[in-house]
């Protein structure tokens, strides 16, 4: 499904920054930071616009924001040919050496038994260590 279709299906206007962001993420092999995405888009759009678009896409459920660490925030698409299969919660692996973020599709965390009165809305599992390329 291409960017235009995705936007239309979610009642979002088809604007160039949104299309560019979606296409950048679709072409990515792993979740990317704002800086990486911006570079892929040719630094063609304002960071402000990126953040606002990202928020819109996230609210529409199209985008997933993964916070590895402060200064290590990554974004990924939730759909289509991207890495993130729709609505399938999975863990993420962050390599402390090469800083790549890898989706561990086979690890489905939870469900968690929360104390009485607590209500879960979303959850995130980050495993940090060394990836296969960085373990010598």
Contact residues toward DNA (CB under 7 A) are 7-8, 12-18, 33-35, 45-49, 51-53, 55-56, 70-71, 73
Give least dist CB 129 to a copy of itself, A: 4
Beta bridge partner(s), residue 63 = 77
From the list a copy of itself, DNA, none, partner contacted by residue 48 (C-beta under 5 to 8 A by kind): DNA
Q: What does the per-residue mask of binding to a copy of itself show for 18-57, with x meaning CB under 8 A?
A: ----------------------------------------
Measure the CA–CA gap between 117 and 31, rounded to whole angstroms: 34
For a copy of itself, the closer of residues 2 and 105 by Cβ is 105
Q: Provide the minimum distance between the beta carbon of 101 and a copy of itself in the complex, in angstroms, as a whole number.
A: 13
29 contact partners, CB below 8 Å, separation of at least 6: 83
For residue 73, give the 3-state DSSP assignment.
strand
> What three-state secondary structure class fits 21?
helix
The 8-class DSSP code of residue 90 comes to -
Lookup: tokens for 8: 């239309």
Candidates 5, 54, 69, 77; binder of a copy of itself (CB under 8 A) is 69
Query: Is omega for the bond preceding 31 within 30 degrees of 0, making it cis?
Result: no
Binding site for a copy of itself (CB under 8 A): 67-70, 73, 91, 93, 96, 104, 106-107, 109, 112-133, 135
């Amino acid at each position: 499904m291409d960017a235009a279709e995705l936007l239309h299906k979610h009642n979002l206007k088809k604007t160039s920054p949104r299309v560019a962001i979606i296409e950048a993420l679709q072409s990515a092999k792993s979740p990317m930071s704002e800086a990486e995405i911006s570079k892929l888009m040719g630094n063609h759009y304002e960071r402000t616009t990126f953040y606002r678009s990202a928020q819109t896409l996230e609210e529409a459920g199209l985008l997933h924001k993964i916070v590895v660490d402060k200064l290590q925030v990554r974004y990924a698409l939730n759909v289509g040919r991207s890495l993130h299969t729709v609505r399938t919660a999975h863990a993420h692996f962050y390599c402390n050496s090469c800083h790549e973020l890898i989706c561990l599709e086979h690890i489905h965390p939870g469900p968690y038994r929360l104390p009485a009165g607590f209500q879960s809305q979303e959850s995130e599992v980050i495993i940090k260590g060394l990836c296969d390329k960085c373990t010598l």
